[in-house]
Structure 1
């Protein structure tokens, strides 16, 4: 599997949305009613991705195989329920892969970029949230040194997911 990596641009919004939707559905789709799934995915549509791709506060790194998107990572400003207390913090907002890219090293390469980009932006902490019922992702983040700080409800439509808020001191 030959994968190339590049920064995301506004023109990638449709592809990022389509890949995100496919990946989110494969991992979590069975957990939600169709109404809750669509309510959540509609907040993550092509227009939302285009706005973020245009905003320098939301750097994206894309992974492509044969010109097709197979994964991406997105950083962004703090939004999760924690208090940065004056520290420069950044969040890993999303790191998603298509099933075919899992176990190939793509996630590690995207995480390498994530850490380097967070440090380059002066962050002293990197935060993320992970679904409590996603042991693969939880193990991945643990291997990278993230610690689970607290549990909170992440809303998908009117369905509350049990999530962990995780932190990595950079």
Structure 2
């Protein structure tokens, strides 16, 4: 059975470990070990985890199965740079462990994210996704996200990946 909870500052070390484990599982065949390590050093640090978990602008949803975290979703309450007029929240990360792939957990987590974002009176959720990550783009399109333009480049070590911005209007 899956249980959801909002992570607090005590989850920082586990969050860094989860980021790294889930990123490796998803991208070790795409990026070199050297570039992945550089990405970890720049992005998946204890300082970054502490910053997110202690900020009122972020929340981290954990999905636990048998007391083990198998999925995380991190939301940043900030406006989309491509549509400043909307009251939006950014889905910063949605990561699952491979053991949770194909179980419907990602859909359940997104439903929880949408509920939480609506409670904060946000009208839309947006995200940035690599143009190479076709699987993720398909998943988000099934959830009702639409592509609205190009996003910032994603730097993984010395690799530079183009990204797309996708957005979904939340219905009441």
The alignment's TM-score, normalised by the length of structure 2, stands at 0.89
Count the aligned residue pairs.
168
Q: CA RMSD in A?
A: 1.7
Q: Following the alignment from structure 2 to structure 1, what is the Cα–Cα distance between the partners of residues 63 and 77?
A: 22
Is 1:69 aligned to residue 60 of structure 2?
no
Q: Report the secondary structure of 1:104's partner residue.
A: coil
1:102-113 alignment runs, 5 A limit: 102-113=101-112
The CA deviation at 1:79 is: 7.4
Residue matched to 2:166: 166
> Which residue of the partner structure matches residue 58 of structure 2?
58
Q: Work out the CA distance in 1 between the residues paired with 2:35 and 2:162.
A: 15
* Match in the other structure for 1:7: 6
For the residues of structure 1 that align with 2:85 and 2:79, how far apart are their CA atoms? 14
TM-score of the superposed pair, with normalisation by structure 1: 0.90
- Structure 1: 5+ residue stretches without partners: none
Q: How does 1:2-151 map to 2 (within 5 A)?
A: 2-42=1-41, 43-78=43-78, 82-151=81-150
CA distance, structure 2, for counterparts of residue 52 and residue 63 of structure 1 = 17
Paired residues of 1:92 and 1:126 also in contact (CA < 8 A)? yes
**Kept after mapping to 1: 8 A contact 2:57/2:78:** no
- Contact 1:16 1:69 (C-alpha < 8 Å) held by counterparts: no
Give the secondary structure class of the aligned counterpart of 1:123.
coil
1:59-115 CA-to-partner distances (Å, cap 9, x unmatched) read 1110111111100101003376x2433421110000000011111121111101111
Instruction: Flag the 1:150–1:86 CA change in 2: closer, same or farther, 3 A.
Output: closer
Distance 2:133 2:44 in 1: 20
Instruction: Detail structure 1 runs of 4+ shifted over 4 Å in the superposition.
Output: none
